[in-house]
Amino acid sequence: MSAGREVAGTMTTIDPAAVRAAASLVRDGIVVPLNLPLTVHLPKRPAPVHQMLEHQSLRPMPDGRFAVVNDDRLTLSMQGSTHWDALGHFGVLETGRPDVYFGGRELTETSGGGQAATLGIGALPAAIVTRGVVLDLVASMGFADRGWLPPDARAGVGEVRRCLEEQDVELRRGDVVALYTGFENRLESSGGVFPDAAAGLDVGTRHLWAEHGTAGLVCDTHGLEPVPADFAVHAAFLKEDGMALGEMWALRELAATARRLGRFEFLLTSVPLAMPGLYGSPANAVAVF
């Protein structure tokens, strides 16, 4: 992490030993990007806007030639496509409790100019490098032929443990666990229309991640908990535990590669935007086998 950067929440479980162990997982040199195109975005978020700032601007060079310069700008929502939630992204207002956000932070946490004071994306590591584990829930829950989990499916402790056992993988401290539900297949089948309902993770799995020191949970849907969301997972995991959560990750190729290789662990790298106060960030994530 960069000098002076104070990481908070579950990402503190990623230590140098976890990084070294993750690096040892690279055997085949296969690189799998984990990001959806930015054009695949939630309908409730504004679509990205691409604008030219300079188009073929000419600049004289000392030898008489001219440099041709193009520059542009991109405006996008931090939670619009593949992203990490910052710890300040979600809070809970509760009668009799002044704390709203993780770590006992109150509403003043986000009142300084509209950005997070201490729980922005800067509370995650500047570069996340650790062991990733993909759980192919589509296969383990019996929906491989369909290609995705039905919208009423819910992955509880039993489903997670069964998947880990079938894949012969154990969770370790500092892991980022990727939950594959086949959502990219489902999106394609609907012509890119986001469904109103989607499968998700049961809040009852909370103790499982805590006992293993899991650093982060990411999924391929637009809500880690089942959609439409009751916010139980966000309230328990993000607000209470400081669990790093990622949504709308591209996990189809990852799951297929893991199954082909027979290895469901990999080196994960992710570099959030270096911009203080943001409530989320594109993941910029890659898996390496």
CATH number of the domain residue 128 falls in = 3.50.30.50
CA distances from 271 to 57, 74, 129, 213, 274 (A): 31, 18, 9, 21, 8
Amino acid 112: pLDDT: 75
**Computed from CA positions of residues 266, 239, 13, 162, in that sequence, does the dihedral angle turn out positive or negative?**
negative
CA distances from 252 to 32, 48, 139, 179, 259 (A): 10, 23, 12, 10, 11
- Domain ranges, residue 281: 11-52+68-288
* Other CB atoms within 10 A of residue 286 CB: 17
Rg of the chain in Å (alpha carbons): 20
The type of residue at 160 is V
The type of residue at 196 is D
Question: Which tokens belong to 85?
Answer: 């939630």
111-114: long-range pairs with CB below 8 Å, 24+:
113/277
Does residue 184 belong to any structural domain of this protein? Answer: yes
Does residue 282 belong to any structural domain of this protein? Answer: yes
Say which DSSP state 44 is in: T
Q: How far is CA 262 from the centre of its chain?
A: 23
Q: Which residues of 129-168 are buried (b: 16+ CB within 10 A; e: fewer)?
A: bbbbbbbbbbbbbebeeeebbebebbbeeebbebbbeebe
Does residue 1 belong to any structural domain of this protein? Answer: no
Does residue 6 belong to any structural domain of this protein? Answer: no
Does residue 270 belong to any structural domain of this protein? Answer: yes
User: pTM for the complete prediction?
Assistant: 0.95
Q: Where are the alpha helices (DSSP H) in 191-251?
A: 206-212, 232-233
- Torsion angle defined by CA atoms of residues 78, 81, 83 and 88, in that order, rounded to the nearest 10 degrees: 40
Amino acid 276: pLDDT: 87
Maximum pairwise Cα distance, the chain: 72
Does residue 62 belong to any structural domain of this protein? Answer: no
Does residue 147 belong to any structural domain of this protein? Answer: yes
| Number of domains the chain contains | 1
Amino acid 1: pLDDT: 40
Does residue 3 belong to any structural domain of this protein? Answer: no
List the pLDDT tens digit at each of the 289 positions of the chain: 444 578 999 999 999 999 999 999 999 999 999 999 999 999 999 999 999 999 999 999 999 999 999 999 999 999 999 999 999 999 999 999 999 999 999 999 998 788 999 999 999 999 999 999 999 999 999 999 999 999 999 999 999 999 999 999 999 999 999 999 999 999 999 999 999 999 999 999 999 999 999 999 999 999 999 999 999 999 999 999 999 999 999 999 999 999 999 999 999 999 999 998 999 999 999 999 9
